Structure 1
Amino acid sequence: MRGAAKKAAVEGASEELERRSQYLSSLIHRTKVKSEADQKEDVEDKQEEEKKGIKDGDGFDGDPPQEQRQPPNVKVRASDMPLALQKRAFKCARETLASMPRLESKRLACALKKEFDSTYGPAWHCIVGTSFGSYVTHSLGGFLYFSIDKVYILLFRTAVEPIDR
């Protein structure tokens, strides 16, 4: 009986490893596919910066790799989100913060949620504050936790399933 239990445990662990391996493979594949789109977006961003007269490297210390290129006051704390979506979140958050004389957490959260719901489909959630705890479940590729100065922002997506009536 012990041998059967041990064999079942090993098979269960093997299935778990296979599931995790497939998840990582799909994540790597999506990242490779997205990197082509990100490169195109970077070219468009550079052209836009040239039109505005922004010199290469303005607002950055040196010229870090594409994955790390972001303004100095933005720090990614945790992410399972393509770079293009991350950049969109940073841009939206900075613009919304710049339009406020003082931090209005609810307004910033609403702006990010509406932007992502309208652009990428429903079921985005956003939590903003200077101190909060969270424990959430998110859809694959739909999680970003970052800070701008001392404001922390958690943006994540959940799956939406239609209700059968």
Structure 2
Amino acid sequence: MEEKKRVDAASEELERRSKYLSSLIERTKIKSESDQEEATTDRRKNKEKVKEEDRGVEAVRGGGELDKEFMKKIRVRAADMAPALQRRAFRCAREVFDAMPKLENKRLALALKKEFDTAYGPAWHCIVGTSFGSYVTHSLGGFLYFSIDKVYVLLFRTAVEPLAH
């Protein structure tokens, strides 16, 4: 009887988390569509101001600069992360991409993890690949799933709890 209660409680928790992730993905899709519309409007306004030598660079969501061609390759699939942190992830990914003649998934994952561990504290995790599945629990505001061409990147933070000795 007690085991059945535990199984039921675990099933309910799994269902609750699944619904949360589904709603998060839906909100991200809606948000990403409106962000793309805003970006298109902003680009039109900025084209008039941009000089000939600056044509290859544009602002991303109001901060930082990334190459236009590289930004066209990036697609945010789901996010529960502040735009500033997203820009940092994109910038770090671009630096790693530029430093490698051929993409090394493990190297990109390690670079993103180290960057975020150093800047925002421990317990960041990163998965990079062309085909993978995952079901992760993350800290609020610490989830980003994006693609660059055909490479997918999952960056997330988990809660760190001290060990009781």
Aligned to 2:54, the other structure's residue is in SS state coil
* Residue 121 of structure 2 corresponds to residue 121 of structure 1: yes
Deviating runs (4+, > 2 A) in structure 1? Answer: 63-67
Consecutive unaligned residues in structure 2, runs of 5 or more = 1-15, 21-49
Aligned CA distance change for structure 1 residues 65 and 158 (closer, same or farther; 3 Å)? closer
Partner of 1:140: 140
* Residue 89 of structure 2 corresponds to residue 89 of structure 1: yes
1:76-132 CA-partner distances (Å, limit 9, x unpaired): 000000000000000000110111111110011000000000000000000000111
Question: What is the aligned residue count?
Answer: 112
Within a 5 Å distance, the mapping from 1:3-42 to structure 2 comes to: none
What TM-score do you get using the length of structure 1 for normalisation? Answer: 0.60
Structure 2 residue identity aligned to 1:103 = L
Consecutive unaligned residues in structure 1, runs of 5 or more = 1-15, 21-49
What's the RMSD between the two structures over aligned residues?
2.9
Structure 2 residue identity aligned to 1:75 = R
Overall identity of the aligned pairs, in %: 65
Partner of 1:109: 109
Aligned to 1:109, the other structure's residue is in SS state helix
Structure 1 residue identity aligned to 2:125 = H
Partner of 2:23: none
For 2:154 and 2:104, how far apart are their aligned partners in 1?
15
Asked whether the equivalents of residues 60 and 87 of structure 2 are also in contact (C-alpha less than 8 Å), the reply is no
